[in-house]
Amino acid sequence: MAEKLSAVKGMNDILPPDSARWEWFESKVRALMARYAYANVRTPIVEPTALFVRGLGEVTDIVEKEMYSFEDSMNGDRLTLRPEATAGIVRAMIEHNALYNGPMRVWSAVSLFRHERPQKGRYRQFHQIDVEALGFAGPDVDAEQILMCRALLRDLGIPMEHVRLELNSLGQPSERMAHRAALIAHFEAHADVLDEDARRRLHSNPLRILDTKNPAMQAIVEAAPQLMDFLGEASLAHLNAVRAVLDAAGLAYRINPRLVRGMDYYNLTVFEWITDKLGSQGTVCGGGRYDGLFEQLGGKPTPAVGWGMGVERMLLLLEAVGVQPPASAPDAYAIVPSAEAMPVAMVTCEALRAAGASVQMHAGTGEGMGSMKSQFKKADASGARHALIFGADELAQGLVTVKSLRDGGGAQIARPLAEAAAWAPTLQSLA
């Protein structure tokens, strides 16, 4: 036998029955986006490497060590598998002048790629639901997006006690410059405790040091000067306006002055939704305002805000809190006793499906027809509400037997083959 091949480490296959959980989650997301009037966008998985280097910042975990970058062997272009969604969406908006007629609310379901150490809740290919409001200065839209997250958690049936919202303001670039000087002085005074990453970032991007996951550095990070104390009136007013909406909406949050997020493009509002159910992979959703990114990528000044939600982590959280998506099963399963009955059965199933019923049929004419008993077993295993029995006697009279497989089962009724569309709706009820 030829040698078997495996998927790339940290990249997962999503197969049944697990894929049903994904579809259920995605259907909740789609319904949410429709209710908030966010329009779907899809951008390429591969982008020029320069987009992310310029967009996310050279001294970030993603750009320094997590990107899958390669040279296009045809023309030597430097390309990267997208590690996050926002930069590509902003590029597309600028390229197509899509905000010409006014601001836009958009969302996207994306696959992302980061070269990280794979573990539970952390993969090399992972998925996000991403929302962006482009051309809005906020703070109303910032709050709207945070509330969208809560609405989705509710729609999914995740009790709010298992997630918390953390909020911070990163202010404006001038405020960050003043804070930065104070940060550098603080970390220089504790240079002995800095790890290699931190020492390298001390003068290039000291704010990043606050994002460290190194336990040995937590104490000096705790003691570091807080950006909050450097914020001017306008930045504080923006934060307070967001808080006022959250308060009015009865959504509890914690101000976390050390919340900085992993990309450089953020300013003002930043937030994360965190659960304690998933260990150190506890952040299920993160986002914030990025008013400077359009200009940084060659566009006109355009205020914007967005968030990204980790789909794998949300599904793990659903599992951890015991939320089971409703089982999906066909309305009916066709039992086909003989090869002769197969064409009529197939045509009837087609008519039922055209009328909106979900019908599973496995006549098995290629593998040898199974006994009635084994077909009934399969019908039961499928979870179908009804069996359709295409027996020779019924067919001779132009009929098919519909038998209930639920609630003890047994009840049966003969239905005319020629009028499938008329009785298809009855398959969708438990009668």
Q: Known binding site for L-histidine: residues?
A: 84-86, 114, 128, 132, 261, 265-266
The stretch near ligand ATP (CB under 6 A) out of 34-42, 113-121, 162-170, 374-382 is: 113-121
Nearest residue (beta carbon) to ligand ATP = 310
Q: 38 vs 333, which CB is nearer to ligand ATP?
A: 38
128 binds ligand ATP (CB under 6 A): yes
**The 386-389 sheet, strands edge to edge:** 359-361, 332-335, 386-389, 399-404, 412-416
313 binds ligand ATP (CB under 6 A): yes
- Does residue number 123 form part of the binding site for ligand ATP (CB under 6 A)? yes
* Residue 308 binds to ligand ATP (criterion: CB under 6 A): yes
132 binds ligand ATP (CB under 6 A): no
Q: Is the peptide bond before 337 cis (omega within 30 degrees of 0)?
A: no
Residue 422: which residues within 8 A CB-CB, separation 6 or more? none
- Whichever of 263 and 388 has its CB closer to ligand ATP, that residue is 263
238 sits near ligand ATP (criterion: CB under 6 A):
no
Integer Rg of the chain from CA: 28
Residue 325 gets which letter from DSSP?
P
CB of 265 to ligand ATP, least distance (A): 11
Rule CB under 6 A: which of 282-301 touch ligand ATP?
A: 283-286
Residue 260 CA, distance from chain mean position:
21
Q: Which burial class, exposed, middle or buried, applies to 296 when counting CB atoms under 10 A from its CB (0-12, 13-18, 19+)?
A: middle
CB under 6 A: which stretch of 166-174, 177-185, 306-314, 400-408 binds ligand ATP? Answer: 306-314
Residue 254's φ and ψ, nearest 5 degrees, are -120, 135
Using CB atoms within 10 A of its CB, is residue 273 exposed (0-12), middle (13-18) or buried (19+)?
Answer: buried
Let me know: does 94 contact 298? Beta carbons within 8 Å.
yes
Cα–Cα distance measured from residue 204 to residue 200, given in angstroms and rounded to the nearest whole number? 7
Question: In the complex with ligand ATP, which residue's Cβ is closer, 115 or 362?
Answer: 115
- Minimum distance from CB of 196 to ligand ATP (Å)? 19
Stretch that binds ligand ATP, among 50-58, 123-131, 234-242, 421-429 (CB under 6 A): 123-131
Element (H, E) at 71: strand 69-71
Nearer CB in complex with ligand ATP: 312/331? 312
Minimum gap (Å) between residue 33 Cβ and ligand ATP: 17
Find where tokens 């809190």 sit: 321
- Single out the residue of 48, 135, 257, 262 in contact with ligand ATP (rule: CB under 6 A): 262
For residue 387 the two structure tokens come to 């069996």
What SS3 class is residue 389? strand
Q: Are 238 and 150 in contact (CB under 8 A)?
A: no
Query: Smaller CB distance to ligand ATP: residue 230 or 266?
Result: 266
Query: Judged by CB under 6 A, does residue 122 bind ligand ATP?
Result: yes
Please report, as ranges, the residues that interact with ligand ATP according to CB under 6 A: 84, 114, 116, 121-123, 126, 128, 262, 281, 283-286, 308, 310, 312-313
